[in-house]
Amino acid sequence: MKSFASLLLALAIGAGPAADALAASSLHHTKATAKSAKAAKAAKKAGKKAIAAAPARPAIDYDGEAVNFSDWQAVRDFEDDIVARNGFERAQVEDVIKRARFIDSAVQLVKPAPPGKPKNWQAYSDRFIEPIRINAGVRFWNENADLLARAEATYGVPAEIIVGILGVETIYGRDTGRFRVVDVLTTLAFAYPETPNRADRMAFFRSELEHTLLLAHKENIDPFSLLGSFAGAVGMPQFMPGNILKYGVDFDGDGIVDLRGSAADAIGSVANFLVEHGWDRNNTGPAVFPANVAPSLAWQGLLGGLEARYRPGELDGAGVATRTALPDGRLYGLVDLQNGADPTEYWVANANFFAITKYNRSYFYAMSVVELGRAVRLARGI
């Protein structure tokens, strides 16, 4: 552990953590297709000027407040635990934890949204299927076409899905977060706001804090050099430290997994994550199919969950009709995209769509990835 120890010693003296067109072809002849095509056309007209029109960031306290976390009994117990489990020296861990700062803005940002506001898919998607991300996506795809093709050949994940994820997450590395990961993870691990799932969330962030120290040791980096989101997600694809260790790929072959500076590693890691969460490379058909539901409401029992569980006959029997025939031999799920006071959109999705929801547990998120990737492809003229 000499390399890790030397980093911690430095801290102690003041030195500074998915191109397959078929994957989105379910959007043909639908409102989503029209929207994607319209957005792509707008993106072409907007050109480079769109990038300069990005909204200003709100004022956020990234620096936080100096506290001595090691005075807290729960922190001392955590230090004992990870020292025993990983073989760290106690002083090494303490040198990091003592320098962590309390980030109140992270606490505020993880609080649940106020109840009562209806979900609105159109409003949500308008944030992501827009000229800034589409133009940036075209540039990113053009610059990394060989890498995206190699990832598609290696993992079976279409380039447009990878492009969609990276665009939704960080606009292709443009906004990867400015919080020190050690600070936000320590704060959320021990001062998570009062919510029904507080204990589970604190346990999660404690695990991620431990993974951050393991990652710093593995990659021989200063743990405080890791910057990320208010929840500790890192780099172009916004992986949590544990996911970097588990799913990160050295796709450029330089011996390290660098999701902050290597587009190759970000591309390979996103593809690998999706495969490890159920992406089926043999399912080359559409990921989602527009659907209509019957007035009988029997289909309501099919809603919910993040996996494909139903055969086409079961969907049909419950009153779910797709505009194109579903391929046999596969399972599907029913997805509802609520639109506030406007009618809800219904879609039938296969396992590949639900693999995207493992990246972010949201139908809105997964559909925005599909639509953005498609819009970028259309803007490229493919």
pLDDT digits (tens, 9 = 90+) for 59-97: 688 888 999 899 999 999 999 999 999 999 899 999 999
So what's the pLDDT on residue 61? Answer: 85
DSSP 113-153: PPTTPPPBHHHHHHTTSSHHHHHHHHHHHHHTHHHHHHHHH
Taking alpha carbons only, the member of 223, 232, 127 closest to residue 181 is: 232
pLDDT tens readout for residues 38-67: 555 554 444 443 333 444 444 688 888 999
Buried b / exposed e along 21-56 (16+ C-beta atoms within 10 A): eebbbbbeebebbebbeebbebbbebeeebbeeeee
- The answer to whether the beta carbons of residues 14 and 270 sit under 8 Å apart is no
- Assign 16 a pLDDT band (cuts: 50, 70, 90): very low
Name all domains of the chain by residue range, CATH numbers in brackets. 2-13+62-114+174-276 (1.10.8.350)
Is 269 within 8 Å of 237 (Cβ atoms)?
yes
Where does residue 359 rank: exposed (0-12), middle (13-18), buried (19+ CB within 10 A)? buried
C-alpha gyration radius of the chain: 22
Q: CA 291, CA 44: separation in Å to the nearest integer?
A: 31
* H-run or E-run covering 323: none
* Separation CA 8–CA 15 (nearest Å): 9
- Mean pLDDT across the stretch 14-18? 29
Model pLDDT for residues 341-361, shown as the tens digit of each residue: 899 999 999 999 999 999 999
pLDDT at 170 exceeding the cut of 70 = yes
Q: What is the dihedral of CA 43, 47, 52, 53, to 10 degrees?
A: -40
Residues 251-275: tens digit of each pLDDT: 999 999 999 999 999 999 999 999 9
DSSP string, 28-73: TTSHHHHHHHHHHHHHHHHTTHHHHTPPPPPP---S-EE--GGGSH
pTM of the entire predicted model? 0.84
Asked if 23 contacts 284 with a C-beta cutoff of 8 angstroms, the reply is: yes
Contacts of 129 (CB under 8 A, 6+ apart): 35, 36, 39, 368, 371, 372, 375
Q: DSSP letter at 23? A: G
Locate 310 and state its tokens. 């139903």
Of the pLDDT bands very low, low, confident and very high (cuts 50, 70, 90), residue 238 is: very high
Q: How far apart are CA 65 and CA 95, in angstroms?
A: 17
**Residues known to be catalytic:** 169
